[in-house]
Amino acid sequence: MDQLVSPTIQEASWGEIHIEGFNRPFRDAKVYPGGACEWDWRETGTHHAPGIQPGDVRGLLEYNPSVMILSKGFWQRLQVKHETQQLIVDRGIDLHILETSKAVERYNQFTGEQLVAGLFHSTC
């Protein structure tokens, strides 16, 4: 898996995230070395509060990223559960939790240099 490269996020705007190699936008996205997919909050029961669940990031951890980016939305309404943060940090992963536009910028800084994964929320 170390040979996989994380795709660049081309643009993030309200309700849409455009990712290199995909011909349709995502509403919310999971991005990881070698690909991306829709982030469906219903799978883990995620809501703005209490926020991103450990189950939301577990699949991303399988790619052994050295960096994890979690976006809180453009209005920063999405929280991140403490257990989720702890799960990431305990694995020695460099964790960044940011407003969506800043999260995209930071994520793109790492693509091509390190194994980076992330969750990106396109609304509030």
H/E run at residue 103:
helix 100-110
Distant-in-sequence, close-in-space partners of 90: CB < 8 Å, separation ≥ 6: none
In a domain, 40, yes or no: yes
101 domain residue, yes or no: yes
Based on the structure, what is the number of domains in the chain?
1
Confirm whether 105 is domain-assigned: yes
Q: Let me know if residue 1 belongs to a domain.
A: no
Q: What is the pLDDT of residues 77-117, one digit of tens each?
A: 999 999 999 999 999 999 999 999 999 999 999 998 999 99
Please check whether residue 3 lies inside any domain of the structure.
no
Beta bridge pairs of residue 29: 38, 120
Domain span holding position 53: 9-121
Domain containing 14 — which CATH number? 3.40.1230.10
Confidence of residue 1 (pLDDT cuts 50, 70, 90): very low
| 66, 59 Cβ separation under 8 angstroms | no
Cβ contact 25:16 at 8 Å: yes
Q: pTM value?
A: 0.95
Do residues 116 and 68 make contact, with C-beta atoms less than 8 angstroms apart?
yes
Does residue 4 form part of some domain? Answer: no
Position 51 in a domain: yes
In a domain, 39, yes or no: yes
